[in-house]
Structure 1
Amino acid sequence: MPEPAARQGGLELQARAEELWHELAGPIQRIPRSHRYRTGADLEDQLRHLVDLVIEAASSGQPSRVYRLHEQTRKVEWRLAAAAKQGLLRPAAVGRVSRPPVEDDPRDRGGTLYQIKAMVGAWRERVKSKG
């Protein structure tokens, strides 16, 4: 059974992953029809799988699940960058979710994907140092 702090962090991470999914729903719907069923469906599946892996990792607390979650965040980041490079997603939309925080503003935490990557990376390092 994972410690309560990991489960609470998992809930925050799940909320961020669902927020990312909702943030990208509009841009995914604007993918041209000829690519929507391949790229759009794949991207939605990747985001759905990200939410599922957050739930699995938070509920089990196993290091292997945390590592898989880390790999999934990298896959989502790669798919978003590839879709933006192909011109299927607007680069501004991808940049908005993956941007780092502004250094001058302490209230700014960066884009949603950036926050998810930071939280998962910290979680992975904690698991790595324990085991």
Structure 2
Amino acid sequence: MTFDHWNQDSGNAVSDKVLNTQRASFLATPAEIKYRIWADLKEMAMRYTEDASRRGTAERVAFTQEYIESYTFELGVRADGTTKAQWEQICQAYHGAAAKMADYERNGDKPLTFEIDAITNPITNTTS
């Protein structure tokens, strides 16, 4: 588990995920979506110990679980092709996320921000 963004000043660790709702198992059993999201949250809170990165900078960026003050989980979901049943599972995961994080958290009750972004196909500009 690694985080995609780290704000050293605020202690916020951000995980960006894109959900492929066209995956066969998610189409056949939409409830798997909720459980996949909760598994990702569990990884953030319980399995993550430290991270280090040099991407985008020559300076090494490193932090451990004890430096994390809050979490942000950013979930991208395709607007087209995501079924009503899948959206319902995403919403259930969203509504249950805070309680799940409280259960998972080893180092105190750290706040979670859960953002869902609908991803649409880009508009092609065709001018004559």
Bigger proportion of residues as strand = 2
TM-score (norm 2): 0.30
**Quick check: which has more Rg, 1 or 2?**
2
Structure with the greater relative contact order (CA < 8 A, sep ≥ 6): 1 or 2? 2
TM-score (norm 1): 0.29
